[in-house]
Amino acid sequence: MPRPFDEARDQLERQYLDAKFDPASGLSREELLAELERHRTEHPDEPRIITRAWLFHLLCSKARIAVELDDYFADKLEHHNLLVALREEWRREQERKEFKDDPPGIAGAWTAILDAGHTCPDWRNLLKYGLTGLRDRAAARSGVFYQAVAMVYEGAITLSKRFAAALPDSALAALAERPPQSFREALQLAYLYHELQEMEDGYSVRSMGRFDQLYYDFYANDLKAGRLTREQAKELLKYFWVKFLAKTQGKLYGKPFLFGPEVNELSYLAFEVYREMQIVDPKLHVRLAEATPRDFFEQVVGCIQAGCSGIVTVNDAGQVEMLRQNGKTPEDARDYVLIGCYEPAVMGQELNCSGASGVNLAKAVELVLASGDYASFDELMAAYLSTLDAYIALATDKVRREERLWPEVSPSPLLSGTMDSCLEQGLDVSQAGARYNTSGCYNLGLANAADSLAVIRQLVYEQRRCTLTELGAALAANWQGYEELHLTARHRVPKWGNNDDCVDSIAVQITDFLGERINNEPNARGGVFQAALYAIIDSAKAFGKQTGALPDGRLAGEPLTLNTGATTGMDKNGVTSLINSVTKLDLSQFPNGTVLDIMLHPSVAGGAGGIQTICSIIRSHFAQGGMAIQFNIFDAALLREARRHPKKHANLQVRVCGWNVRFADLAPDEQEMFITKAEVG
């Protein structure tokens, strides 16, 4: 019987770092690789999906395992990422062939990749059929695809038996025979599947599904039958959730669990647990609707107030309507989860590939300025939009070519085996077997672009404060020697996020263009592209490095603005004006997701009144058409103190658009960004 969670916590948080794989339990990396080589030599013409399934099965049955007596769940298989290595080998081979004659693009203007990570397996089927049921329904059909699916699930069953033999009292003994019947078995199956999907496809930010809908019956039946107490359920959930934190160590994008809009006793229990644990992973997404009970809403907000920044709240009515308008059936639209950070997709039925492509809205300003003179602002704006148009054409075209390579690079029989549509058609997800096959195109640096264009309009075309050439020279010099113009650009021209139509109207013009241009652009999988408006910190930094100085006053190389927010320190009118600006955009044009980050000072957000204040901010944002919102609550003084004494404030969490982390784990420049933001708020 494992120890109480609180006693075991430190050890549990290090469980993957400290995992000891028993050499007697299986083969070494070299031995596994030798077996793979032998297999590939003996089967030179084997379909790739079979090779992957074969390797999957090999790892499950022969790689080393580690079991801990002090855990409720077994999960550790030393697979050495061999499936991912194989995929990368195939990817390099295919991309070399496909892209070798492509001219070099403009660095930092756009990106396009094969994104097989962003999706959500059909957890409902997994829990309903179990490993055996998913194996059997594939094994009943003939064909390469079904053979591969049956093989990976047979592998998973073999692995379950190995764990069960090594660990007395494991739920896996039962799961090797039948679907889960208890809360503990359901969680064990979910986590084992989670580990196996990472083995198959690498670290990816796939949704863990609608937690309170998926697991309630298991929980309620256990309680009713007297097999489980509420307290025991909380312990199980803590042992389950801590694995996500142990995996990321708080430094990677975490796996989201979804709650609501209908809630049950398990929803309340889960947030109670989350608040007690004070962890940065997993992330919790909450769908809020009219029907969501007020006490649950307040419990969620209480968690946010208490510093659990891994919570994103979502406008349920808005999301469902947006999904419906983008080709989902009403029933599927209601069954959405959020993939990755905030990208809506139908649970278990959609390969939304939300990170497939991205466009740097700020870089286009730089390019337009460098490439000509314009008689009027309208002319310049037209040139700007046509530059975006060209970037989007290049990015989406590259994605289509990548998608055509997908079946030869990364078939995923484990994932496909959960999805009804794949089973019905006999197609892997890489062959567009899922019911919905969409591709994302996210857009970065909205505030930089809108603010820069507003500066050009006002200073060059309206006030004639400088010419376009002079402005170009200032940017080329990274504003050095142009201090007066720099200050004028920064402080004498309205900035995005202050509810000022001068600049907000430009942002509206840009986003309307993006929605019109990107949505419904066909991809290569029978689906369409979907626009997104977010910039996670990694991409804001990476694209920022490749973007020169901008008219908004930003210096060369600085990170781009995050998500839909204002440039750091520029939303001087406060939260209400920021929301009023952002909701001028028609956010339903971004079916691949948007989010707004809000920073609040404890004097506004603290106490019982603070909960009501945060609830009102959320309600107001949604009432005006906002789709998702997330919070940071602290003041600059606390952050400075935490920077000086990281150990004393090891648990201080911040939300960095997309993921939340311990403040102490941030890079110095990221810490500084938060302090600046907190000072203005």
Partner 1 sequence: MKGRLLNIERMCVHDGPGIRTTIYLKGCPLRCRWCHNPESISSEPEIGFSRSKCVGCGKCAEVCPTGAHVFRDGAHLLNRELCSACGKCVEACLPGALEYYGREMSAEEAGAAVLEDRTFYATSGGGCTISGGEPLWQAPFCAEVFQLLRQEDIHCALDTSGAVPWESFETVLPYTDMFLYDVKHTDDRLHREHTGSSNREVLDNLKRLSECGVPIEIRIATIPGFNADEKSMAAMGEWLSGPPHMVGVRLLPYHLARSKYETVGRPDTMPDVPPPDAAAMAGAAAILQGYGLGAVA
Interacting residues toward partner 1 by CB under 8 A: 484, 487-488, 491-492, 499, 573-577, 580, 604, 609, 612-613, 615-617, 619-620, 623-624
Q: Which is nearer to partner 1, 178 or 491 (CB)?
A: 491
Crossing angle, helix 377-409 and helix 501-518, to 10 degrees?
40
Q: Which is nearer to partner 1, 57 or 495 (CB)?
A: 495
Q: Which is nearer to partner 1, 69 or 487 (CB)?
A: 487
Instruction: Report the C-alpha gap between 344 and 323 in whole angstroms.
Output: 8
Strand 653-656, strand 439-444: pairing: unpaired
Q: How far is the CB of 501 from partner 1 (least distance, A)?
A: 11
What is the sign of the dihedral through the CA atoms of 642, 645, 649 and 652? positive
Half-sphere exposure of 309 (CA within 13 A, CB side): 23
Q: Which is nearer to partner 1, 339 or 578 (CB)?
A: 578
Measured distance between the N- and C-terminal CA atoms of the chain, rounded to whole angstroms: 49
Q: How far is the CB of 672 from partner 1 (least distance, A)?
A: 19
Instruction: Report the C-alpha gap between 514 and 498 in whole angstroms.
Output: 22
Question: What single string gives the DSSP state of each residue in 599-655?
Answer: EE-HHHH-HHHHHHHHHHHHHHHHHTT--EEEEEE--HHHHHHHHH-TTTTTT-EEE
Q: Which is nearer to partner 1, 297 or 663 (CB)?
A: 297
Q: How far is the CB of 604 from partner 1 (least distance, A)?
A: 5
Q: Which is nearer to partner 1, 392 or 599 (CB)?
A: 599
Backbone phi and psi for residue 593, each to the nearest 5 degrees, phi listed first: 110, 145
Q: How far is the CB of 451 from partner 1 (least distance, A)?
A: 17
Q: Which is nearer to partner 1, 392 or 575 (CB)?
A: 575
Residue 143 has which token pair?
């064909």
With a CB cutoff of 8 Å and minimum separation 6, the contacts of 597 are 562, 563, 565, 629, 630, 631, 632, 655, 657
Q: How far is the CB of 212 from partner 1 (least distance, A)?
A: 25
218 sits in which H/E element: helix 211-224
Q: Which is nearer to partner 1, 197 or 499 (CB)?
A: 499
Half-sphere exposure of 17 (CA within 13 A, CB side): 9
Three-class secondary structure assignment of 415-454? HHCCCHHHHHHCCCHHHCCCCEECEEEEEECHHHHHHHHH
351 sits in which H/E element: strand 350-351
Q: Which is nearer to partner 1, 159 or 599 (CB)?
A: 599
Q: Which is nearer to partner 1, 404 or 584 (CB)?
A: 584
Q: Which is nearer to partner 1, 33 or 508 (CB)?
A: 508
Q: How far is the CB of 642 from partner 1 (least distance, A)?
A: 22
Q: Which is nearer to partner 1, 160 or 567 (CB)?
A: 567
**Nearest CA to 7 among 235, 247, 240?**
235
Longest dimension (CA), the chain: 79
Residue 391 has which token pair?
């970037």
Q: Which is nearer to partner 1, 156 or 489 (CB)?
A: 489
Query: Which residues, in sequence order, are bridge partners of residue 329?
Result: none
What is the sign of the dihedral through the CA atoms of 432, 434, 439 and 442? negative
**Nearest CA to 369 among 489, 283, 518, 523?**
489
Q: How far is the CB of 605 from partner 1 (least distance, A)?
A: 9
With a CB cutoff of 8 Å and minimum separation 6, the contacts of 547 are 108, 360, 362, 363, 366, 445, 448, 556, 557, 560
| Helix, coil or strand: residue 95 | helix
Q: How far is the CB of 342 from partner 1 (least distance, A)?
A: 22
Residue 254 has which token pair?
């975490």
With a CB cutoff of 8 Å and minimum separation 6, the contacts of 158 are 57, 60, 61
Q: How far is the CB of 492 from partner 1 (least distance, A)?
A: 7
